[in-house]
Structure 1
Amino acid sequence: MRSEVQWRLCWENELQLSDHVELCEFFRKTYGPTGEFNAKPFEGSRSWAGARPELRAIAYDSGGVAAHMGLLRRFIKVGEVDQLVAELGLYGVRPDLEGLGIAHSIHVMLPVLQELGVPFAFGTVRHALRKHVERFARYGLLTVMSGVQVRFTLPEARLDKPPIRIDDPLVIVLPVKRSISDWPTGSIIDRNGPEL
């Protein structure tokens, strides 16, 4: 039987060292089974993988951190258009709580997105999560796009890797203050920085 979760919305500067350490452990356990490389960024007390979020939605239960979603406001370039978004990412849910999911995380974030006044929330997920996000998209809250390349920088400049990476993920757009018909068209999105 699952215990009830309590969501906490907190700005990055409200987190204590103990929060970062607990989140690191959560991300290593959550991302580790998807590949050793995926857990590697969460060493020591680092609780982010690429860009550091400015706001986090963290679910807790009797077992500790149950789920997490980060938010970062930024301008991305969609085709030729600079677009303000609240990027959602750094998403994870403890394996024993499957079903808590992205839908709950987004619902917790919705009031904050409204307050921030951003026109859209934006995020990317692996193709393996297609069925998961499309279930949520059926309710008309978000749009899932494929066939759009996303270009971003690595979190650190390295001598052994190119500084830019291009992926072909599923792109998720959530209209907040504008209609989805106002989303710019383009076959490539530039994050102009590391992914969240």
Structure 2
Amino acid sequence: MTTWEIVREADLGRDDHAALSALLRVSCSRPPAVRTSWFGSRPEVRVVAREDGEVVAHAGVLRRFVQVTEHGAPLEVLVGNVGLLTVHPDHRGRGLGRELGDRLCKLLSGLSVPFGLVLCDPGIVGYYRSLGWHRLPEVDVRYLDFEQRDPFRVVSERCASTMVLPVRVPLSAWPTAERLELAGSQV
């Protein structure tokens, strides 16, 4: 039987982080460092699924302001930045991903953010679309690159898989973005 929980970061202990880290190592295309259950910015809250004590699904959320450049003018937009969304490879194909996504959307609503934001691999855009997310036109994204062991290196790349979820406001309230700037790296 699958049990689900919403866990605040401060409520996680070392064993929890070890279990989350083990899941991320086997299921993410870009796994975090061995001792952490995140890379870049640490999530504020997580959706976690367990079966027989083993973590089998996970998503992290961090509320943050992103700077959106629209017509050359910077705007600050509050988002629930989503990352590290995964289901253990041995547990895929059973509906856990859909349940995880549904619970994630409810969590975002409970966090009172106007939008969810995720930068995802192009291969999973359809998954997010099925949950009500919208793909933005290709946009320049700037963030700090903690993965290269140089936290001062700023990466700027064209991203064709930037997704926004209207949570508390309509999609039409999202600015026409030419560029997104994240304060830290992606969750």
Q: TM-score range by the shorter chain?
A: 0.7 to 0.9
Q: Does 1:89 align with 2:83?
A: yes
* Distance across 2 between alignment mates of 1:130 and 1:107: 15
Structure 1 residues 51 and 75, CA gap change in structure 2 (3 angstroms): same
**Corresponding residue of 1:50:** 40
What SS does the aligned partner of 1:86 have?
A: strand
SS of residue matched to 1:26: helix
Residue aligned with 1:53, SS? coil
User: Offset at 1:187?
Assistant: 2.1
Judge which range, 98-107 or 18-27, deviates more.
98-107
1:106 and 2:97 are equivalent in the alignment = no
Gaps of 5+ in 2: none
State how many pairs are aligned: 181
Q: Could you say if the C-alpha distance between residues 98 and 145 of structure 1 is closer, same or farther in structure 2, counting changes exceeding 3 Å?
A: farther
Structure 1, residues 30-54: CA drift from partner, whole Å, max 9, x if none? 12xx3xxx23x3313x111110001
Greater shift, 106-115 or 85-94, is seen at 106-115
Alpha-carbon distance in structure 1 between the residues aligned to 2:146 and 2:82: 17
Change in CA separation of 1:63 and 1:13 when aligned onto 2, cut-off 3 Å: closer
Aligned 8 A contact 2:39 2:147 in 1: no
The TM-score with structure 1 as length reference comes to 0.83
Deviation at 1:63, TM superposition (A): 6.7
Q: Which residue of 1 aligns with 2:127?
A: 132
Separation in 2, partners of 1:124, 1:165: 14
The answer as to whether partners of 1:70 and 1:88 remain within 8 angstroms in 2 is yes
Shift of 1:25: 0.9
Change in CA separation of 1:64 and 1:49 when aligned onto 2, cut-off 3 Å: same
Whether 1:17 aligns to 2:14 is yes
Unmatched 5+ stretches in structure 1:
none
The answer on 1:123 being equivalent to 2:118 is: yes
Q: Deviations over 1:81-120 (max 9, x none)?
A: 1100011111111112224355322321333322321111
Of Structure 1 and Structure 2, which has the larger fraction of its residues in strand?
A: 2
RMSD across aligned positions (CA)? 2.2
Q: State the Cα distance separating 1:17 from its structure 2 match.
A: 0.8
Deviation sequence 1:115-167 (CA, Å, 0-9, x none): 32111111110112233333x15xxx2212241222100237856x8611123
Secondary structure in structure 2 of the residue aligned to 1:150: strand
Structure-1 separation of matches of 2:125 and 2:147:
29
Distance 2:48 2:161 in 1: 23
Distance 2:113 2:155 in 1: 26
1:144-159 matches, within 5 Å, as: 144-155=135-146, 158=149
User: Which letter does structure 1 place at the counterpart of 2:47?
Assistant: A
TM-score, with normalisation over the residues of structure 2? 0.86
